[in-house]
Amino acid sequence: MKPKPPIVFAIAAHPDDIEFMMGGTLLLLGQAGCELHYMTLSSGSLGSSIFPATKTRKLRRAESREGARLLGAGWRPPLADDLEIFYDLKTLRRLAAVIREVNPGIVLTHSPVDYMEDHTNTCRLAVTAAFSRGMPNFATSPRRPPVTGDVTVYHAMPHMLRDPLGRRVIAELFVDVGGVLASKRVAAAAHRSQKEWLDVSQGMDSYLETVESLSRAVGRASRKFRYAEGWRRHLPAGFGPEDSDPLRRLLGRRCFRNKAYDRCVV
């Protein structure tokens, strides 16, 4: 009897971050039989140059739920507003409670270094919440019992594939998302309010073209796939066995390890 595929929990900062950096991998894991969960820690409250924060929160909440539905994932509500994701005990206790409820075998989250602190803090919170999953003396909010089982944490590529100082970040794993790129674009298109905002705030012309061009850039870096998403595994200590790599096991030929990663120096 084949083992049940692991539960997958994607944890990102803002509505549409999951679609941009993780959407293709999530779709493939869903096809592999995994149960998917989706959570952004921020409400996206500042993501508009037109609407006030109260209306922006409502818009982005609806868009986020639709994006999760299109990816085949269960949606979890946010915990904070934009620029208010802090690595603090209150937020950690709340996220740890959700981790224990979901009890994932795979966590997908941001790069440990990225261009803005919301991404970096989300990564730190996700890693610590996953690490504390089995600690009886760590009280979550609301209280949830500790859970057992291994979890593998994967970090997505940072924005523009560089760290905050402009240095290139090399992927350890590449996932071929060419076969699900159209579905990834459809999920990203659910975030209709963001096209105008990103064009104004970051100069990202053609919102959906950016989704495709980013996947193409990672594909070029792979030297194997036309369109790809890149990942790095968190060190396994406290999470599971050293050789744990469920992405490669579940996705087979659609995921390969970059041999050059072992030679890179940070």
- Give ∠ CA 251-74-181 in degrees, rounded to 5: 45
Cα distance between residue 208 and residue 229, in whole Å: 16
Q: What is the pLDDT of residue 45?
A: 96
> Cα 98 vs. chain centroid, distance in angstroms?
15
Q: What is the pLDDT of residue 262?
A: 80
Q: What is the pLDDT of residue 240?
A: 96
Cα distance between residue 50 and residue 214, in whole Å: 27
Q: What is the pLDDT of residue 16?
A: 94
Q: What is the pLDDT of residue 4?
A: 87
Q: What is the pLDDT of residue 53?
A: 94
How many helices and strands in the chain, by DSSP H and E?
8, 8
Q: Which residues pair with 174 in a beta bridge?
A: 230, 256
Residue 98, φ and ψ in degrees, nearest 5: -70, -40
Cα distance between residue 171 and residue 231, in whole Å: 5
Cα distance between residue 214 and residue 199, in whole Å: 16
> Cα 108 vs. chain centroid, distance in angstroms?
5
Q: What is the pLDDT of residue 264?
A: 65
Q: How far is CA 4 from CA 1, 105, 231, in A?
A: 9, 11, 23
Residue 133, φ and ψ in degrees, nearest 5: -55, -35
Domains of the chain: 8-263 (3.40.50.10320)
103-138 pLDDT per residue, tens: 999 999 999 999 999 999 999 999 999 999 999 999
Q: What is the pLDDT of residue 201?
A: 62
- Residues of the chain falling short of pLDDT 70: 1, 195-206, 263-266
Cα distance between residue 122 and residue 114, in whole Å: 11
Sign of the alpha-carbon dihedral angle for 78, 82, 86, 87? positive
Q: What is the pLDDT of residue 1?
A: 67
Q: What is the pLDDT of residue 209?
A: 83
